[in-house]
Amino acid sequence: MIVASASNVVVWIVWFAAAFACLASAIGVVSMRNPFFSALALIGNLGSLAVLYLLLSAAFVAAAQVLVYAGAVMVMFLFVIAYLGDRSEGVRLSGGPSWVRVGAVIAATALLVEVVVVIAMAAGDRLSDPAEVQASFGSPEEIGRLFLTDHLLAFEITSIVLLVAAVGGVVLGSRSRAEDELDEAEAARAGA
């Protein structure tokens, strides 16, 4: 009984930490002035959502959240930000604000504590038994069936929106580059 309640306490702590991280990073996305740091906050938001999905026993959705959204889509966002961003400001990766360093230390410490607790509970065979779930729950076959039958329209609209975003980023980037080249040519003529 005490072991079960201890594991429930750990689950609640992880849930509250992930929920707080989700809300804090969402606020960071909309409040930061630098688009690069805003995109990094969005990656944090997507990661904390993946933790919440894991707590709901949706491991496939959590993995897809990390691989597709926090990985591929955010790489595209960061590419567009770097491609279209203001070249005069520059992004400082080292020597950033002190609160970023403090946040990184807190996040690393929390991750270390979580890993140590899980290893200790697994070594002591104190992890609770998994809940009974249907065999098809969360399987790629079941998710694929749902995507391609019940949710086909939403799935296709999402793919079209991502394609339009990629093409739009390239078009805007090519216009920005052309304008920069014209500005440089005019500055060279004015200086000559």
Q: Pick from 134, 161, 182: which residue ends a domain?
A: 134
What's the CATH code of the domain at 60?
Answer: 1.20.120
Indicate if 73 and 100 belong to the same structural domain.
Answer: yes
Q: Is the pTM of this model over 0.75?
A: no
> What domain range includes position 44?
2-134
* pLDDT for residue 91: 47
- Of all residues in the chain, what percent carry a pLDDT higher than 70? 80
Indicate if 107 and 190 belong to the same structural domain.
Answer: no
State pLDDT tens for residues 30-83: 888 888 888 889 999 999 999 999 888 888 888 888 888 888 788 777 777 777
Indicate if 22 and 98 belong to the same structural domain.
Answer: yes
Contact 154, 160 (CB under 8 A): no
Q: By C-alpha distance, which of 74, 58, 51, 66 is closest to 146? A: 58
- Alpha-carbon span 148 to 158, nearest angstrom: 13
Indicate if 111 and 169 belong to the same structural domain.
Answer: no
Indicate if 110 and 82 belong to the same structural domain.
Answer: yes
* pLDDT for residue 3: 59
* pLDDT for residue 83: 72
State pLDDT tens for residues 107-136: 888 888 888 887 877 777 666 666 676 777
